[in-house]
Amino acid sequence: MIIENFTPISGFVGGMLVGLAVVLLFWLSGRIAGISGILASVIGKPGPDAVWRYLFLAGLVAAALGWFGVTGDLRVEVEAGPIRVVLAGLLVGFGARLGCGCTSGHGIAGLARFSKRSAVAVVTFFVVALATATLTGVLLPTEGGG
Amino acid sequence: MRLAVAFVSGVVFGLGLILSQMVNPAKILGFLDLSGPWDPTLAVVFLGALAVAVPGMRLVLRRGKPVFGERFALPARGAVDGPLIAGSVVFGIGWGLAGFCPGPAITALVSGEGRVILFVAAMVAGMAAYRIVDRWRTGATDG
């Protein structure tokens, strides 16, 4: 197997920052940094506890704005075409709610406290995502397809 | 104070996603798509996150309560059930299709790329759809 584009150092350090953010929020506020849960509870009619969630999401955006302001570079390459993107968004939104969490809540916060539910969720969505992406890669090998 | 904490935590989280290039769906698909050259970065990002979060959460839980709050808001340690598996399968299909999950997608909005906006709009619609289905489901069993 050919290894390509591997960036282990920035990947590990970036991952440590994500882990640090999860620990910070939990240590100081007692909250779990699960993005799908945070986003879902501010859409529709936000509850009384919505402000910190808005601010957390604003922090994500502020990080990107700051990064772009300083480096002038925020690389986001979307290989999937608009139809695939919409389908993916619908499934990610619906699935994350039905499964009570996504890559952050289950994948980092949940695994870090050895939650069995999170471990099962993470193994399930990783296996399914690997199969889906590989199958898509075989069937639609051209860039920007479907 | 808790509001400042939420914002700072969001900023640190976002910087981590950007530095590790997890905001770039091509990087995610480079890991998930085994049909071509492989990019193991995603696994290293998880290792880095867990290297901090495993001891960190353990230390924090040793305290009885958060610094600015009365108690830890922890999800109930329930059993593995059908919805958890089904939801994770659906989520996995969506993640594998485009290489976007919620945190990176929101952070990547700043790129102004049209398909990121499209993804986030569809994701919010998917969450709204779940809310309707869930209300209907629980309403049906209760009534």
* pLDDT above 80 (res A43): yes
> Which helix (H) or strand (E) element contains residue B12?
helix B2-19
What mean pLDDT comes out for the span A32-46? 90
Q: Which two tokens stand for residue A111?
A: 């695994």
Identify the helix (H) or strand (E) that includes residue B86: helix B82-98
The total number of structural domains in chain A stands at 1
In this predicted structure, what is the pLDDT of residue B141?
A: 56
pLDDT more than 70, % of chain B: 97
pLDDT tens for A55-84 read: 999 999 999 999 999 999 999 999 999 999
> Per the CB < 8 Å rule, is A56 touching B25?
no
| Mean pLDDT of the region B23-50 | 97
Instruction: Please answer whether residues A78 and B108 qualify as being in contact, where contact means their C-beta atoms are separated by less than 8 angstroms.
Output: no
Q: Check residue A142 and give its pLDDT.
A: 58
Q: Check residue B137 and give its pLDDT.
A: 83
Residues of A in contact with B41 (CB under 8 A): 5-8, 11
User: CA-to-CA distance for B122 and B124, rounded, in angstroms?
Assistant: 5
Question: What integer is the mean pLDDT of A97-121?
Answer: 95
Q: What's the mean pLDDT in B105-131? A: 97
pLDDT at A145 over 70: no
Give the sign of the dihedral formed by CA B119, CA A131, CA A13, CA A73.
Answer: negative
Structure tokens at A121: 């969720």
Instruction: Give contacts of B 12-51 with A, CB under 8 A.
Output: 12-27, 29-30, 32-42, 44-51
Average pLDDT, chain B: 94
* pLDDT-above-90 percentage for chain B: 85
User: Tens digits of per-residue pLDDT, A1-38?
Assistant: 899 999 999 999 999 999 999 999 999 999 999 999 99
Test B19 with A43 for CB contact under 8 angstroms: no
User: Taking CB atoms and an 8 Å cutoff, what residues of chain A touch B20?
Assistant: 7, 10-15, 17-18
B68-114 pLDDT per residue, tens: 999 999 887 789 999 999 999 999 999 999 999 999 999 999 999 99
Q: Which chain A residues are within 8 Å of B85, Cβ to Cβ? A: 99, 120-121, 124
pLDDT value at A143 more than 70: no
| Domain residue ranges of chain B, discontinuous segments joined by + | 2-142
Using CA atoms, how far apart are residues B115 and B26, in angstroms rounded to an integer?
13
Q: Is A146 a member of any domain?
A: no
Q: What is the pLDDT of residue A60?
A: 98
Q: How many CB pairs under 8 A join A and B?
A: 507
A96/B102 CB distance under 8 A = yes
Residue span of the structural domain in which A64 resides: 8-139
The amino acid at residue A52 is: W
CA dihedral sign, ordered B95, A89, B10, B57:
negative
A26 part of a folded domain: yes
CB-closest option in B5, B52, B54 to A20: B52
Above pLDDT 70, what percent of chain A? Answer: 97
At CA B66, angle to CA B64 and CA B68, rounded to 5? 140
**B6/A74 touch (CB, cutoff 8 Å), yes or no:** no
pLDDT-derived band at A144 (thresholds 50, 70, 90) equals very low
Q: Using a pLDDT cut of 90, give the percent of chain A over it.
A: 88
Q: Is the dihedral of CA B94, A39, A56, A73 positive or negative?
A: positive
Please state the pTM of the whole predicted model.
Answer: 0.95
